[in-house]
Chains A and B, each alone.
Chain A
């Protein structure tokens, strides 16, 4: 029993290669399909440079970057506090923060409407007092992205902070550093990998946001129609066939790939390795 069995090893190897191979094929084929369509369909390139695509891409980039920035500004203190507090019900709090990760974004969209819509909890008094209506605006796009994507950052940052030895912070205090100084010069650099990983995840999620945006912000070219919404719109235009959707999908694919590569180059300390270490320490 305890001896190594060459036969079991072989079976394991075959199984590993087989399953891994199928898995890889499944992941590669859809991208091959996109590439094949792009190569065989001249309109794909023509459409890629259209005004509609340019406006959607511009909107997508600035809204996703802004919502990521907001996630970092507002999420970092929460993540740090969650990583250090021993308050009762911390598990519940963490679950609440993680909730949008699990929920379908459409739920987030409906929830946003009930809060900030024309008849929402805040939306109605806001419209009555100031005349400001949030739905169908770029602000609504950012809000939808923030609600859906920020938990990815908070989650990563929380485990990153938790992996930083509190002893280091205490030493900094004894050396006369203030809390803020300690946080910025000790804690953040120590958790850098996890924070960056969280930022990338958050940004990627914001860039891909569809359901909540469609419900809360609507879809209008140049105003609220981000790339994912533009792809849906293009798919529904039979005059474009699949060319429009393929064209925009490719652009989004390239943008995401370039950003990920740039991110890798900018962080020699591989973020996923750091995140893995962080989660290990978390346990």
Chain B
């Protein structure tokens, strides 16, 4: 059997390598000796935390440590990236892993058991999915937003909200249960009162249902679509690539964003993060990206 030895060795080596890689992967969230997001003893780093957290934002006196996953709506990508960075600056022993996607996708993931300590949704319906599943309670609204029509800057097919019903417009929306897709369809339906058949005419122009608001925005930025419905905050990020067409306020009520801690035994870090989002500092960051106060 001698000639089989090298093969066995190879297999064993491959497994050893695999084990090594997966171990080092586990250890990656560096510095914190406890891999789980458990609050550690208050004695060690109190001074450290108080000097770092000079702002009034952090409500806790003790040093927070641990890693949490925050699942947040795509439209929050930029704002929450900055909020997480500010939170980590104030609490150096914490790590916030951000998971962005459509709120409906995130809700599906959480209900199916995906790890998440905080859920920030772009509408109440998807938050309700997680709350109804018994995985979160007491959501709090932390921001509002408005939907707009985004069109490529070099394409003047759509000049007003009514133009969406013109035949030949290539319209891209988010999926029906993705919050921004839902808000858009509500606005179209609301317009039916004044213009019967409006909603039907607009939806006949639909060429694609995208997975989330950022995917809609990309299709518009690339000029593939003549128009798409996104949040005002997303359109602002595109800058010159995108032209914004307002949707009458009476047709599109503001989008509201609820946030909640997920799970029965929320970690201190998760609670502190939610508090930070609701704090003055968190609100200031959200406002800087164009979100309005709740």
Contacts and interface: CB of A to CB of B under 8 A. Distances in A.
Contacts, number: 80
Given A117-B224, A237-B175, A237-B177, 8 more contacts: A113-B222, A117-B223, A136-B225, A218-B172, A218-B224, A236-B175, A239-B177, A242-B108
Contact of B210 (A5, A133, A218, A239): A218
Interface string B104-147: 11011001100000000000001001000000000000000000
Contact of A2 (B2, B172, B211): B2
A135 B222 CA distance: 11
A145 interface: no
A12 B2 CA distance: 12
A5 B208 contact: no
Q: Considering the complex of A and B, which 6 residue pairs feature the smallest CB-CB distances, nearest first?
A: A218-B208, A136-B207, A118-B223, A238-B129, A236-B105, A237-B177
A232 B176 CA distance: 13
A235 B210 contact: no
B126 A219 contact: no
A9 B208 contact: no
Contacts of B126: 238
Interface string A95-135: 00000000000000000010001110000000000000101
Contacts of B207: 136, 218, 220, 223
A19 interface: yes
Contact of B223 (A119, A232, A233, A238): A119
Secondary structure dominating the interface of A: loop
B170 interface: yes
Nearest to A233: B175
A9 B1 contact: yes
Contacts of B2: 1-2
Given A12-B8, A136-B208, A241 B224 contact: no
A171 interface: no
Contacts of B185: none
A239 to B, nearest CB: 6
A224 interface: yes
Contact of A113 (B11, B129, B224): B224
B259 to A, nearest CB: 17
A8 interface: yes
B175 A136 contact: no
B206 interface: yes
Nearest to A124: B223
B49 interface: no
B102 interface: yes
Interface of A: 1-2, 4-5, 8-9, 12, 15, 19, 113, 117-119, 133, 135-136, 214, 217-221, 223-225, 232-233, 235-239, 241-242
Contact of B224 (A118, A232, A237): A118
Output the residue of B11, B222, B225 with the most chain A CB within 10 A. B222
Nearest to B176: A237
Contacts of B219: 218
A220 B108 contact: no
B223 to A, nearest CB: 4
Contacts of B172: 218
B18 interface: no
The listed residue with most B CB atoms (<10 A of its CB), out of A218, A223, A242, is A218
Given A2-B2, A113-B222, A236-B105, A219 B177 contact: no
Nearest to A133: B170
A261 B176 CA distance: 38
A220 B207 CA distance: 6
Contacts of B170: 133, 136
A8 B175 CA distance: 59
10 contacts: A4-B1, A117-B223, A118-B222, A119-B223, A136-B224, A219-B208, A220-B209, A232-B211, A233-B175, A235-B105
A242 B112 contact: yes
